[in-house]
Amino acid sequence: MEVDRGAAAAVGRRDLAEAALRAGDAVGACELAEAQMKAASSDGWARCCALLAPGQAASEASVSEVSVRADPQVASTMLPLAGIAQVPDWSAPYTPPPLRLLALRNWTALAPNVLVSRAGHLLDDHVGYPPSELWRHGVADFPGYVAAAGQIVLCERASQTVRLARPCFYLNASSNYAAWLMGDLPRLALLEQVRGVPIVLHGAVQDFHRASLALLGIDAAHVIEVAAGTRFECAQLYYVTSTYVHHAPGAHALNWLRVAVRRALGSGHRQLPLYLARRNYSAARPMLNEGALIAMLEGRGFLAIDAERHPLREQAVLAAAARLVVAPYGAALANALFAPPDAAALIIATKTQPEFARLLSLAGLPFAHVVAKPVKLRDGRNVSESYGYETNLAELTAVLDGSSLGRAG
């Protein structure tokens, strides 16, 4: 019961803080945030910043817009699925957000991709959701406590600061593989406009971050790694806005990445249809009959891999040679971006979000869905945490046999 009361008190404080911001009481909102930090035995302080949308960033004295690249509308997106709830707009055409290269003078990254100016503006840009919405999603290590009325309260903690006097190109190191491939790495599409500056990689840097930069021909000597818990200050920071916002990946940047990676890998790889397994993800959307599914696909000549056990280059090589990619919804499916131009994909739907369907659409790859049946395993906050899934093998076989997807394999 103590845990329940504590959680209820935390929700109550946040609701009050949101109301305070809407009423123009930033001081009261910060006091509530600091009270929550104290209740959670966390040292630190709160500050209120004005939210600055990327499109209005150049109105701030310390920001210059170097360039902007607008994408055309993506006409083919997620297919309506029978037996699974969807947001109607997700099956409609969409226009990706513009790709902006900004020069930020004397800004501080309080945390990865959380950028604040000396004047107290926070850039409302992030991977997936902007900070004005991200605070509602309980993202670990995101310091946003509450946002409303064009402001956001940040919970700050004392930390080491890395300072750089010379210009740099800032890159967020998303810990999620798909978020990195769809929302961060493609920002390098505009790096050539500021050629010669070092890249600052901010976050919990992993081998796949380093390997992907190396694959793009970026010398490790030109990369400065800054740990996730460390602040970063720079006299002149070049920042490219996220290429993945509101489940909408950006076409120009993603296709730039696709061409660059496929060129770096070369050709001549053995072509096999590929299945990207989730055998090691028992805690999130487990495939309960995956063993039978893999046996069936291997009987049809598929190579089944656990993507997380392969280095990034190896994953990319396998995807670049796959004429057909089959996978349940999950981060590994982002590798389909590197598939050949005449490839196809089959998504086993365990979630309704459209980002992978949109990723395939902007790459011009045909795809289909098979909806997996949810099987209740335990109580949880949402469907993804409360259910395992079973794939209808007969339905999947029929899709492979009765469509161009099957011939692609």
Residues facing residue 144 across a β-bridge: 154
Residues facing residue 344 across a β-bridge: 324
Calculate the CA dihedral of residues 365, 371, 377, 380 and round it to 10 degrees.
70
Q: What's the pLDDT score for residue 8?
A: 82
Residues facing residue 172 across a β-bridge: 202
Secondary structure of residue 270 in the 3-state scheme:
coil
- The C-alpha R_g of the chain, in whole angstroms, comes to 22
- How far is 251 from 57, CA to CA, in rounded Å? 22
Q: What's the pLDDT score for residue 269?
A: 66
Q: What's the pLDDT score for residue 148?
A: 97
Q: What's the pLDDT score for residue 350?
A: 86
Rounded to two decimals, the pTM is 0.92
Q: How many CB atoms sit inside 10 A of residue 289's CB? A: 17
Closest CA to 90 of 108, 76, 70, 109: 76
Q: What's the pLDDT score for residue 409?
A: 46
Q: What's the pLDDT score for residue 3?
A: 46
pLDDT-derived band at 1, boundaries 50, 70, 90: very low
Reported as a single tens digit per residue, the pLDDT across 193-213 is: 998 999 999 999 999 999 999
pLDDT at 342 over 70: yes
For the chain, the 3-state helix, strand and coil shares in percent, each to the nearest 5, are 35, 25, 35
Which residue has better confidence, 140 or 322? 322
- How far is 101 from 388, CA to CA, in rounded Å? 42
Closest CA to 358 of 112, 178, 140, 234: 178
Residues with Cβ within 8 Å of 91's Cβ and at least 6 positions away in sequence, in order, are: 77, 78, 79, 80, 354
Tokens 């604040």 belong to residue? 116
Closest CA to 319 of 291, 344, 296: 344
Q: What is the mean pLDDT of residues 284-290?
A: 87
pLDDT at 381 over 50: no
- How far is 33 from 154, CA to CA, in rounded Å? 8
Domain definitions of the chain by residue range: 48-70+94-259, 268-408
pLDDT at 115 over 60: yes
Instruction: Confirm if 235 and 166 have CB atoms less than 8 A apart.
Output: yes
Length of the chain counted residue by residue: 409
| Residue 317 one-letter amino acid | V
Instruction: Confirm if 328 and 353 have CB atoms less than 8 A apart.
Output: no
Residues facing residue 108 across a β-bridge: 116, 233
- How far is 212 from 224, CA to CA, in rounded Å? 15
Secondary structure of residue 106 in the 3-state scheme:
strand
pLDDT at 334 over 60: yes
Residue percentage of the chain with pLDDT more than 90: 71
Secondary structure of residue 347 in the 3-state scheme:
strand
Q: What is the mean pLDDT of residues 216-227?
A: 97
pLDDT-derived band at 353, boundaries 50, 70, 90: confident
What angle do the packed helices 355-362 and 251-265 form, to 10 degrees? 70
pLDDT-derived band at 404, boundaries 50, 70, 90: low
CATH numeric code, 268-408: 3.40.50
Residues with Cβ within 8 Å of 344's Cβ and at least 6 positions away in sequence, in order, are: 323, 324, 325, 365, 366, 367, 368, 404, 405, 408
Mean pLDDT of the chain: 90
Reported as a single tens digit per residue, the pLDDT across 80-106 is: 676 666 677 777 888 888 999 999 999
